Structure 1
Amino acid sequence: MDLTKNCLIGLKADDFRHPLDLKATTALKQLPGLDMVVRSLLGSVAEQFFYLNNIASSVRVSDQQLPHFHNLLLEACRILDLEPPQLYIQQHPVPNAYTFAMQGKQPFMVIHTSLIEILTPEEIQGVMAHELGHLKCEHGVYLTLANIMVLAAGLLPNWGTAIAQSLQGQMLEWLRCAEFSCDRAALLATQDPKVVMSILMKLAGGSPTIAPQLNLEAFIQQARDYEAISDTFLGEMLKTAQTEQLTHPVPVLRAKEIDCWSSSQDYHRLLEIGKRQYNQKSDPKGGWRNW
């Protein structure tokens, strides 16, 4: 375990949850019966389906299988004070990672091989921590519903009534807001904003050949330039139209959010609390105990 990183014992989701995530989640919870319907109708079936799919067609990581990835996951879980989910590596040409936890019984995380190929080990841990953020914030129920709606909209463009389409828009907005919280979880685990922003840069324009050549400082400036577009009404309107049907905020916006939060008092307060807690775990001789 990296002793330079602070473990955040007792960390709660609301300690780092993004305000937009909190607002969007609160709005969804006000829809009567939505949580219960998704859990009861989709929970056990979806959980079993995805579990079988993963164990049949992916590689499950453990201390015996790709142990370096297993250790990265365990460290991220220790820092975020979370029980480790199952981790699978899946052969796939599209760089992506996702997590699933409907009822909390079989939470798992999947990372595509194409994403691993463009990231450093520290960045891979950042991706793991982002996915752990979904578990920490208990996004599982709404995340599943959002994914189903996106799939249904793709297969059946005229799939629903105006009410259903409105709900789809609300779910997509929630999904984009939830990503901001998970990026914060990645920052808390890596404790280096440049690592998280580098992940986003590589997602925007990386490949195994190009990734080592990318300039992070130039990408950070690009994120700030994107934010400046909001200074005009037309710019803000175009940005809204660009993103309203996306499942994730655009990478430059996510990088800008991390750039800002890494300088905030809230972020540094969490690290300072973790540092004090970690110091209390030291033995009387000044050595470190495993915990």
Structure 2
Amino acid sequence: MAALFSLTCVVSPKPSLPVPVRSSNARWRWESVASRVVLQPETRRSRVVALVSQASRVVFRDLDADDFRHPLDKQNTLLLRTIPGLNELGKALLGPMTEQVMLLENIGTSVLVSENQLPGLHKLMIEAAKVLDTEAPDLYVRQNPVPNAYTLAISGRKPFIVVHTSLVELLTRRELQAVLAHELGHLKCDHGVWLTFANIITLGAYSVPGLGGLIAQSLEEQLCRWLRAAELTCDRAALLVAQDPKVVISVLMKLAGGCPSLSDQLNVDAFLEQARSYDKASSNPIGWYIRNAQTRQLSHPLPVLRAREIDEWSRGQEYKYLLKHAIQLEDSLKPRNTFVR
């Protein structure tokens, strides 16, 4: 399970123009893509909340996970794969019974989002999947006072994403779509199965007498290290969909210390300055030791560190290259004309 971590203006459709895009066989193809804005009202506590889906400026065709994967994710994934028998152990623990329990638990306690059920959220998910060039999973909304979202991918079954109601209350629609994109990033990068294994394998190892606890402790440290790196990758996926680093950073800021009544007073630039001050405070040997001790057992990097990472990546050549070779999105419901030369 991958635990986490609006759109507000309406634009008129413009005529779509063909844009050259790099395809997987290194040729160039011309595509014309467009998207329209949709307004879907929803009732909450006797008032109408407008869910407006503002089209992202570009979509990414033939996007590969390694195009945006964080270097630490690549490194720690390779290390995880060297653990003997890890895949086999995970598959044994994640058997048919576990699959059924997880599936029924989610269906029985959440609301499945669709075109006819919370259609505004459904459109945010479909659009985010389109931008990342991936298939949209099922999306559930669950009543929970703790703001969170997570992904569950079970072998042989369609993966799904769960969003807590308190997170919906906390975020704007653009920020909520960034969260959905973050979770889609886990699936795009094949994190889903590993994330599910991470929870079950650790719990299973602790249940083994004697040596099991030692194995679990070592395995948990490696899994947490990998999970923290995977989160950095998925923050990049969120940026690819939001296409504005302040949207992603705002999500992290609100998860660190936000609430609906204070949301209009929060300042992204001040939070980034806070992140820089954390780096400065932990730059000496004692600070470095405390910082590592503080994060060693965490499954997620600290919010200020994630904010700094995504801010730096948004300024880098890798992100700019992806944007340069993306396709303008103007009307996703319009037929796409493709020409290959």
Q: CA deviation at 1:231?
A: 2.0
Whether 1:227 and 2:279 are equivalent positions in the alignment is: yes
Q: Is this contact kept in 2: 1:118–1:206, CA < 8 A?
A: yes
Whether 1:170 and 2:222 are equivalent positions in the alignment is: yes
Change (3 A) 1:199 1:142: same
Q: CA deviation at 1:210?
A: 1.6
CA distance in 2, matches of 1:258, 1:217: 13
The structure 1 residue matched to 2:134, chosen from 58, 82, 92, is 82
1:267 counterpart residue number: 319
Q: CA deviation at 1:195?
A: 0.4
1:9 counterpart residue number: 61
For 1:194-221, what per-residue CA distance to the aligned partner results, in whole angstroms no more than 9, with x for missing partners? 0000000000001121222211111111
Count, aligned residues: 284
2:79 counterpart residue number: 27
Whether 1:200 and 2:252 are equivalent positions in the alignment is: yes
Change (3 A) 1:110 1:155: farther
1:246 counterpart residue number: 298
For 1:97-151, what per-residue CA distance to the aligned partner results, in whole angstroms no more than 9, with x for missing partners? 0001132522000000011111000000000000001101101222112223566
1:213 counterpart residue number: 265
Identity %: 52
Using CA pairs below 8 Å that are at least 6 residues apart, which structure has the higher relative contact order? 2
The amino acid of 1:263's aligned partner reads: R
CA distance in 2, matches of 1:149, 1:26: 18
Q: Is this contact kept in 2: 1:130–1:185, CA < 8 A?
A: yes
Q: CA deviation at 1:152?
A: 6.7
The TM-score with structure 2 as length reference comes to 0.77
Structure 1: which 5+ residue stretches go unaligned?
none
Change (3 A) 1:79 1:4: closer
Q: Is this contact kept in 1: 2:235–2:248, CA < 8 A?
A: yes
Ranges of 4+ aligned residues in structure 1 off by more than 6 Å: 152-156
The amino acid of 1:39's aligned partner reads: K
Of Structure 1 and Structure 2, which has the larger fraction of its residues in strand?
Answer: 2
Change (3 A) 1:162 1:155: closer
1:188 counterpart residue number: 240
For 1:250-277, what per-residue CA distance to the aligned partner results, in whole angstroms no more than 9, with x for missing partners? 10000000010000100011111113xx
1:61 counterpart residue number: 113
The amino acid of 1:247's aligned partner reads: S
CA distance in 1, matches of 2:66, 2:251: 24
CA distance in 2, matches of 1:60, 1:159: 42
Q: CA deviation at 1:159?
A: 8.7
The amino acid of 1:267's aligned partner reads: Y
The structure 1 residue matched to 2:169, chosen from 117, 124, 140, is 117
Q: Is this contact kept in 2: 1:39–1:102, CA < 8 A?
A: no
Of Structure 1 and Structure 2, which has the larger fraction of its residues in helix?
Answer: 1
Q: CA deviation at 1:189?
A: 0.8
The structure 2 residue matched to 1:36, chosen from 88, 91, 107, is 88
Change (3 A) 1:56 1:221: same
Instruction: State which drifts further: 40-49 or 95-104.
Output: 40-49
Determine helix, strand or coil for the equivalent of 1:161: helix
Q: CA deviation at 1:76?
A: 0.2
CA distance in 2, matches of 1:115, 1:154: 32
Determine helix, strand or coil for the equivalent of 2:280: helix
Q: Is this contact kept in 1: 2:56–2:242, CA < 8 A?
A: no
The TM-score with structure 1 as length reference comes to 0.90
Please give the root-mean-square deviation of Cα atoms over the aligned residues, in Å.
Answer: 2.5
CA distance in 1, matches of 2:256, 2:69: 24
